[in-house]
């Protein structure tokens, strides 16, 4: 059995997600799945394709798609970079359609590094970055970010940490779990360091449309030829389509050519009909309006959730300002752990608090240290769930935590 894979532990939140799956009564604030669902335009188009295909068993949708992805979809994605940011992307050589952003991240690490190479990532960071790196026999280098600095990575940190074997910097903006958003100036400075150290910057921009602090800036804008940049994105968050498993990778032609080989050896290609249907919604004006409206609802939902959370005993010291992007709250739990007598828990306060909230309030959250040691002392709460589930979670937290006032 693959030694590197055996050495990669299952994710620490798996225990919590198993508990959620086993009990539908639990309010699940662990997953980032927008409650809006796929755009009607996508579903209508897919239904029409399927209806057409019934009469034609040898038809196109029963056949393999191109390994790089259906041409119409690649063209639509390329056009969206031009219309959103004025960036020219060649749909034939610079794009690869993938099984969600998750596969695109895996392909980026696999394609751009060799065993033993170092991959730089923030601490905390999205939970797939480290296991992908370790299971491929590459070495993760964690760069600590903290609440005091807005969880923003500084160019100086990269400069200091990038050794001879460093090849790749994994950036995520808007960020999961912290909500940090990188502005153009910081991205440009990070790019300058990356160029000096011969690193490629991967920008995971899956939360691009949930950017509340200003317009989203893709790292590609700092390097329009994508000489040292890989963009990773997907339909999951933007369109509320996590279950459809559709994403993409954008990079220099030589990188995409190699990544396409890996993608082909892994899975040949993605489903044809879903790609054809998806091609119709990228850049569609009505769908874009819908997405913007959803992002606005999400921002309001986050604001309301945070305000009410801060009124609950133990959460009073959570910062009043909502994060700049995404749909998670990264909640410091020092005060709560103190109230609950969990602050001396050996090893992990985050896990102890998450376990207790699950057991006693029936509310599932992710322990912060699941995102790296820098996440210890936090739990992540997703506010992407429907409003009534969020209301229920807040009611249960209040009922569960209020009686402990003065008990410790």
**Binding residues vs ligand PLP (CB under 6 A):** 32, 100-102, 126, 172, 176, 204, 206, 234, 236, 242, 247
CB of 405 to ligand PLP, least distance (A): 35
Identify which of residues 100 and 179 has a Cβ nearer to ligand PLP in the complex: 100
Closest CA to 173 of 136, 147, 212, 141: 212
CB of 104 to ligand PLP, least distance (A): 8
Segments of 316-392 assigned E as strands: 328-332, 363-364, 366-367, 378-382
CB 41 within 8 A of CB 280: yes
List, in order, residues 6 or more apart from 215 with CB less than 8 Å away.
Answer: none
CB of 341 to ligand PLP, least distance (A): 33
Neighbours of 6 (CB within 10 A): 9
Written as six digits, the tokens of 375 are 């996440």
Identify which of residues 113 and 173 has a Cβ nearer to ligand PLP in the complex: 173
Identify which of residues 240 and 280 has a Cβ nearer to ligand PLP in the complex: 240
Backbone CA torsion sign across 108, 113, 114, 118: negative
Identify which of residues 206 and 352 has a Cβ nearer to ligand PLP in the complex: 206
CB of 395 to ligand PLP, least distance (A): 26
Identify which of residues 39 and 362 has a Cβ nearer to ligand PLP in the complex: 39
382: three-class secondary structure by DSSP: strand
CB of 102 to ligand PLP, least distance (A): 3
β-pairing verdict for 378-382 and 328-332: antiparallel
Q: Using CB positions, name the residue nearest to ligand PLP.
A: 100
Can you tell me which residue has the tokens 């980026």? 108
Identify which of residues 172 and 200 has a Cβ nearer to ligand PLP in the complex: 172
73: three-class secondary structure by DSSP: helix
Identify which of residues 102 and 274 has a Cβ nearer to ligand PLP in the complex: 102
CB of 408 to ligand PLP, least distance (A): 35
CB 172 within 8 A of CB 125: yes
What is the DSSP annotation of 212-227? -SS----GGGGSTT-S
CB 226 within 8 A of CB 94: yes
CB of 192 to ligand PLP, least distance (A): 24
Where is 28: in which H helix or E strand? strand 27-28
Identify which of residues 282 and 336 has a Cβ nearer to ligand PLP in the complex: 282
Compute the distance between CA of residue 364 and CA of residue 362 in angstroms, rounded to an integer. 7
CB of 58 to ligand PLP, least distance (A): 32
Angle between helices 253-267 and 100-112 (to 10 degrees): 120
């Amino acid at each position: 059995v693959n030694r590197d894979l055996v050495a990669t532990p299952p994710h620490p939140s798996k225990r919590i997600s198993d508990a959620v799956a086993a009990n539908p009564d639990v309010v699940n604030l662990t997953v980032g799945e927008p409650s809006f669902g796929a755009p009607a335009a996508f579903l209508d188009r897919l239904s029409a394709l399927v209806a057409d295909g019934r009469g034609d068993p040898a038809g196109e949708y029963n056949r393999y798609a191109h390994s790089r992805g259906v041409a119409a979809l690649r063209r639509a994605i390329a056009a969206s970079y031009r219309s959103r940011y004025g960036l020219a992307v060649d749909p034939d050589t610079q794009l690869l359609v993938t099984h969600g952003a998750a596969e695109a991240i895996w392909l980026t690490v696999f394609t751009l590094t060799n065993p033993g190479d170092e991959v730089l990532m923030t601490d905390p960071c999205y939970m797939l970055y480290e296991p992908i790196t370790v299971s491929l026999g590459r070495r993760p280098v964690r760069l600590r970010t903290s609440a005091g600095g807005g969880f923003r990575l500084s160019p100086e940190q990269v400069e200091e940490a990038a050794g001879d074997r460093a090849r790749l910097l994994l950036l995520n903006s808007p960020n999961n779990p912290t909500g940090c958003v990188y502005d153009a100036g910081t991205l440009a400075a990070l790019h300058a360091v990356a160029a000096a150290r011969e690193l490629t910057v991967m920008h995971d921009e899956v939360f691009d449309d949930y950017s509340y602090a200003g317009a989203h800036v893709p790292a590609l804008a700092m390097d329009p030829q994508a000489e040292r940049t890989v963009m990773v994105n997907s339909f999951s968050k933007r369109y509320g389509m996590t279950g459809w498993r559709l994403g993409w990778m954008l990079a220099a032609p030589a990188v995409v050519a190699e990544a396409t080989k890996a993608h082909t050896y892994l899975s040949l290609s993605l489903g044809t009909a879903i790609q054809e249907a998806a091609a119709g919604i990228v850049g569609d004006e009505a769908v874009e309006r819908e997405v913007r409206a959803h992002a606005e609802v999400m921002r309001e939902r986050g604001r309301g959730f945070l305000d009410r959370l801060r009124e609950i005993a133990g959460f009073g010291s959570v910062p009043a300002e909502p994060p700049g992007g995404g749909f998670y709250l990264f909640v410091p739990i020092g005060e709560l752990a103190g109230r609950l007598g969990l602050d001396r828990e050996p090893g992990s306060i985050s896990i102890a608090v998450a376990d207790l909230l699950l057991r006693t309030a029936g509310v599932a959250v992710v322990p912060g240290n699941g995102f790296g040691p820098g996440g210890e002392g936090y739990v992540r709460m997703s506010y992407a769930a429907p409003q009534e589930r969020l209301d229920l979670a807040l009611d249960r937290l209040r009922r569960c935590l209020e009686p402990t006032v003065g008990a410790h």
